[in-house]
Amino acid sequence: MPNRMIYIVGEVNDVILKAWDVVGVFTSEARAVEACTSEDHFVGPMRLNMIWPEPSAEWTGLWYPLREET
């Protein structure tokens, strides 16, 4: 069985501590984006059944759908 992608939607609650809350987990990026209702909501892709490399690892592909690019 191939490693499928899931999309975590989170909300930042403390930038300094890099703390965030889970908003939802989705099987498509489009559904994850639909769940975002705040500029503090982000979408982060992750392979199902994957072990995260280390606690402070950068989250490749994480983005904020409702923030304007600068």
Give the per-residue pLDDT at 9: 97
Q: Which tens digits make up the pLDDT trace of 36-68? A: 999 999 999 999 988 877 776 788 999 999 998
Give the per-residue pLDDT at 35: 98
d(CA 15, CA 25): 21
Q: Is the pTM of this model over 0.85?
A: no
Task: Catalogue the long-range contacts made by 25-33 (C-beta closer than 8 Å, 24 or more residues apart).
Answer: 31/7, 32/7, 32/8, 33/65
d(CA 19, CA 37): 18
Give the per-residue pLDDT at 7: 97
Q: Which tens digits make up the pLDDT trace of 6-44? A: 999 999 888 777 789 999 999 999 999 999 999 999 999
